[in-house]
Structure formats: C-alpha cells, structure tokens
A and B are shown apart, each in its own frame.
Chain A
Amino acid sequence: MLPEWLILWGGMAFTLMVWSFLWKTNFWYRFAENVFVGIGAAHFGVVVYHGTLVPNLFTPLGKGNTILLIPAVLGLLFLTRLMPRKYHWMSRYPMALTMGVAAGTALRGTIQGTLFPQITAMFKPLTTLDSWIVLIGLVTTVFYFIFSLEAKGVSKSIGQVGRFIMMIYFGASFGSTVMTRLSALLGRLQFIFGDVLHVMK
C-alpha cells in the first residue's frame, strides 16, 4: 500500500501533467495519458476476472455445471480475431449471438420503456401554458423532419418554429455541458486546495 502523501502529491502531479495539454501536447501530458490507459486496462482485466469469470464461470464449472462450456467456448472464439485472417470467420458466431441477444433484450424494452411512455406523456389536457408549449414544440419539431414535403410557404414556417424549438434544446444542452466541464475543474481544484494543500474553507 502506498503512503497517503505519495498518493495525494502523485495525484496533484498527474493533474498538472494533464493540464499542461492546455499549453500544447508535450511529454508529460503523454506520460500521464499512457499511465492512465495502462492502469485502466489492468484494473478492468482484474475486475472482470475476479468479478465475472470466477463466480459466473470457473466456480460453477468446478461444481460440474458443464453447460457453461458452451458460452466459454463461444467467448474464446472472439479471440480468433487475433489469429491469422483465415480463422477470423470463427468469431462471427459469438458476434452474431451477442448481436441477437442485444437486439432481443433491447427491442422490447425500447418500445415499452421509451416509445410508449413518451407518447403517452404527450396526451395531457391542454389546461396549462406548459402543455401548449410541449404540444406546439412536438408538432413543429416532428414537422421539420418531414422530408417528403417541399419546405415552402406554411410548411416552411412550421418547420422553422420546430427548428427554433430545437435550438432552445441545444442551448440548454450546451449550458449543461458547460456545467459538467466546470464541475470536472471544480473537482480537481477541490482536490488540490482541500486534500493536498489543506487551505480550502
């Protein structure tokens, strides 16, 4: 276990190395980047081995649950991508199965979990200004994406209202992005002033 002072000052040094990218790409920035990628990959490998392969595969196999050999072999077939090109076809079987399972699990949930609830939420009594804004926003935005109709006259005007509504959303989204990026800076400043230098009030 590393001493705490080394972890803190090391963290601060790596923060400054990454910030040095604001000046220009340099050796110290690339060093920090490579260390981060290396540690991340190693950590991921250890977590997957101990958290998934051991409890969900090796232990049940050891207890005689031999049916798990099928997903194990399919998983290993993915690695044929690392072999010479003539063996690559073998990786298509687990890939096809993965895609099929992903599509199957996602499809029902996407319709039930996104499409229907969001459409249902649109059908509200038009008793408030909010509900009118939502209705106008929805109709005009959908109208903007009707490409089979030539955009001129009234249809162009409706589409432009939809475009305006989308711009408001993009503005809100950009504002939120700025908030998140500033939070990342805030986190590092709190680390430096609070954890390392102990000058934060």
Chain B
Amino acid sequence: MSKDARERWILYALLIVAMSFPLLRPLGIPLKISKECKAAYDYIESLPEGSTVWIDFAYRGAAAPESDPQAYAVMTHFFKKNLKVCVFYCIAESGPYAKIVMETTAKEQNKKYGVDYIDLGYKPDLDAALNGMARDFRSIFPTDVTGKSVADFAITKDIKDVNSFAMFFVLHTGAPGIDSYFKQIESQFKKPLVAGMTAVNFPQLLPRFNAGQLKGMVSGVIGAAEYELLVKRPGRAVAGVDAQSLGHMLIAIAMIVGNIIYLRSSRTGTKGGN
C-alpha cells in the first residue's frame, strides 16, 4: 500500500472509531437550540389548530440521515398541534421515506389517513406542478397516491388552491427543492415557507431567512436534534449529536495537523502536505 493510501486509511479508521464510540457509550454533549430552529418551531406552534399544511419530502436516500429525523420531528409537531397534513414529494424516490415517517408518526399520535393526513404522491416538474396546484389544486392532484379521488377525503375535499394552505414546509436537499417554492409560492402568493435542509444547504438559505422569506430553518442532524428536543420526541438525531461532534472535532484536528506538517515541510524544502 502506498504512503498516501495508508494515511487516508488511518483517517478513515479514526473517523469510524470516533463516531462509533459515542453511539455505543453516549457522552451527553449539551445542545443549544439555534434561533433559526426555534423560529421554525414557534411559527408552526402559532398556526391555528385544524389548519391545513403542506410538506414536501424533497430528499433521496443520501440525505435521509439528516432529513429523516427532521421529518419525524416536524410531522410529530404537526400532529400534536392537530394540523391537517398534505404530504407530497417532488422526488420519486422519496415515497418510501415519506410513507414510513407518515405512518409511524400518525400511529404514535393516533391520527387517521384521509382525515388528519394524506399522501398526494409524486409529481414531476416541480415548478409546473406548484404553479398549477396554486391555481387549481385538483387539476394537478385529482387523486391521492392510492388512486382514490381527493374529493372523497375529508382533508382534501375543500381544498381549492394555494390559499387553502396555512404553511408550506420543504425538506430541502437540492434541486428540485425549495427554490421552486420561492418562485411559485412564496413570492407570488405570499404564503409562509419553513424549511428543513441538509447542513450543506444552510449557508445558501440563511440570507432567505434573514430576508424573511423563510420563517424558520432546521439544519442537518443538529437542527433535527434541536427540533426533537423542542417537540419532546428524542430520537436518532439526539442520539447522533455526540458522534457528529466527535467527527467534527477529528476533522478539525486533522486539518490543523495537516497544515502544520505542510507549512513545516515547505519551510524545510521537503516534499509534503499530504
């Protein structure tokens, strides 16, 4: 094995050990609720009971470790607040994730399909779907995911257009995602938007929160853990905070050590910096 490959493997091994250890023996690193996450919680908390809300599971398997805990926490909050939840996904692969989250949280909170929540399924071309739905809901969603008419469900029988929804929540990971909601929903109809997102999307969306275009943000595993604490449903995210923190620490140390070695080797004129 080459020197490069050996050094890479040492880092991989250290990372796996550092992140596995707290999963087997939790450290209890304290967690502070961020203002963006608290804003999301407060906004949903302020909605009147019985309001209809929209949630888009816009994530694939690669983002599930971050988006799944967010989805569990937010769906729990929706149900605890007795909100009516319309579940949609703009990515076809999201269906199974949405179904598991929906059914688990509905069972925990004793909610009924068709009355308290509904699965509207997947539609391609998010911009066009939102644009059409905003003007005529049934032209885009004539049926639920099982093929039954939305007119036959208590939750959707009175939904006409975008004004039937009190809020839109997007579990954003990339494209298609929340950009379409800014373009088709928030800007044109002034409907409130709240987002859950992978940590990598947080810096890009922070200006939207500061500009008031997002009412709240739940970012990554840490955000999901904060939300789990807020809704008093500690789950996978809270359990993963220690591991995530140790992983970050290790990466930071590796970067510092790597740069010191690089600087020393460049000063002495030897080849280095790996």
Contacts and interface: CB of A to CB of B under 8 A. Distances in A.
Contacts of B48: none
A182 B248 contact: yes
A186 interface: yes
A176 B211 contact: no
Query: Taking chain B's interface residues, is the majority helix, strand, or loop, or is none over half, making it mixed?
Result: helix
B98 to A, nearest CB: 12
Contact of B24 (A120, A182, A199): A199
A134 B104 CA distance: 43
Given A176-B199, A184-B62, A55 B221 contact: no
Given A51-B122, A112-B187, A187-B65, A180 B239 contact: no
A89 interface: no
Given A56-B142, A201-B26, A190 B188 contact: no
B220 A179 contact: yes
Contacts, number: 163
A73 interface: no
Contact of A109 (B66, B184, B220, B244): B184
Given A40-B93, A182-B19, A189-B20, A121 B211 contact: yes
B248 A44 contact: no
Size category, B interface: 35 or more
Interface string B186-224: 111000000000111111100110111100000011100
B199 A179 contact: yes
Interface stretch (A77-85, A100-108, A156-164): A100-108
Contacts of A47: 92, 95, 121-122
Interface of B: 8-9, 12, 15-16, 19-20, 23-26, 62-66, 68, 92-93, 95, 121-125, 127-128, 131, 140, 142-143, 145, 147, 180, 182-184, 186-188, 198-204, 207-208, 210-213, 220-222, 236, 239-240, 243-244, 247-248, 251
